[in-house]
Every structure is written in C-alpha cells, then in structure tokens.
Amino acid sequence: MAPPSPETMTHAEAAQLLREAQDRFIASWGRMGSAWGISRTMAEVHALLYVTGEPMNTDEIMDRLAISRGNVSMSVRALLDWGVIQKTHKRGDRKDYFQAEQDVWTMLRAIARERIKREVDPLLQSLDEIRELTPDTARATPEDLAALNTRLDAVQECFELMSVLSQKFAGPTGAGLKSAAKLLAKMPTGAGKGERR
C-alpha cells in the first residue's frame, strides 16, 4: 500500500497511482456536489475533466465513470450550461470533446453566478410578489402584518445584497473573486461596526 519511493517507481506504478488519486478526487468532488444540490454524476464528470485536464469524448467519459451514454450527454450538457466546461474538437475526429475550465477561481465564479441566477433571483422575485400582497402603506395595518413585512424586508435586503455581490465579483467580466477573498482573509478580525460578541 505504501507508495514506492519516487526513484524506484516504474512507469506502470506511477500510472496506477495517478489513476487512484484521480478516482479519489472524483469521488470527493462528487460527494461535495451532491451535498450542495448538484447531481453526483454531474459533479463527477466535471471532476474527471478538471483533474485530467485533457479534453475527453463521450465514450471515454462513459468508460471511465461507468455510466450510460445518455447520462454523459445530459451531464455534459448541464455543465456546458453552467459554463464550467467547453466543447472542443480534434482534427480528423468527428466526436465532440469536452474540456474543463482550468482556473479554479473562474470555475467558482461561474458556479456562483449560475446559482444566484437560478436560486436567489427567483426567491427575490417571490418576495416581491409577497410584498404586493401585504400593503403596509397605512398605519391602520394590523400589527402582525407590519411585523411580517419587517421580516420579509430583512430577508430581501440580505439576498439582494448577495445578488449584487455576485454580479460584481462573479459576473463574466467581474472583478477578481480571488483577490476579494484574500482581501477579506487579511481583514483584521473585528473590522466593521457590525461585530458581535
């Protein structure tokens, strides 16, 4: 089980090690994906393309992950929609090849952007609609309705901020998400007046 020291490693041993490491990464990424509401297989296809770095075609993906052609087709299509993989071609080969975005931060930006668009924005829209139901124009409004509106406002404010942030940092032309994150990491604990204890 202990890997042979690099000096004595044969080519075959190295290949096996590579494969093992890739498989483990694929499995971890898949687990993570499914915890966050992305289908395990879709995450695995993505992991495979990312970790190998190579463009792969449908058959290669099918074989490597032991999944059906239809499943590959659907997963790959979804990944294209998310904008985290690209279609490429090889001279003299009719097959479609797929290649993952190689920069992790660009990848995360794409994911964040899509998720906000798909899940936060619809929530905001619902909140708007709900607000229309409950006019708070007059102070004659019963107390409970007013309290409700206060709560809805709080949620709305918060998710709107998220949506704005995502446009700013995760948009296709967005400023660096990476640098923003590093900036925050360096920010002294306790900065800002909103600190709690």
Partner DNA sequence: GATTGATTTCAATATTTTCTGAAACATTCT
Partner DNA sequence: AGAATGTTTCAGAAAATATTGAAATCAATC
Q: Which stretch binds DNA (CB under 7 A): 75-83, 120-128, 138-146, 153-161?
A: 75-83
Pairing of strands 85-90, 56-57: unpaired
Residue 111 contact partner, candidates DNA, a second copy, none, CB within 5 to 8 A by sort of partner: none
Q: Which of 23, 96, 136, 160 binds DNA (CB under 7 A)?
A: 96
Closest separation between CB of residue 31 and DNA, Å?
Answer: 9
HSE (side-chain half, CA atoms, 13 Å) at 12? 0
| 34 sits near DNA (criterion: CB under 7 A) | yes
Instruction: Please identify which residue in the block is written with the tokens 């229309």.
Output: 132
DSSP states of 100-147 as a string? E---HHHHHHHHHHHHIIIIIHHHHHHHHHHHHHS---STTS-HHHHH
C-beta contacts of 127-130 below 8 A and 24+ residues apart: 127/152, 127/155, 127/156, 127/159, 128/156
Q: Which stretch binds DNA (CB under 7 A): 74-82, 109-117, 126-134, 185-193?
A: 74-82
Pick the closer one to DNA by CB: 42 or 177.
Answer: 42
| 78 sits near a second copy (criterion: CB under 8 A) | no
| 118 sits near a second copy (criterion: CB under 8 A) | yes
Residues that bind DNA (CB under 7 A): 34, 39-42, 57-59, 66-71, 73-77, 93-96
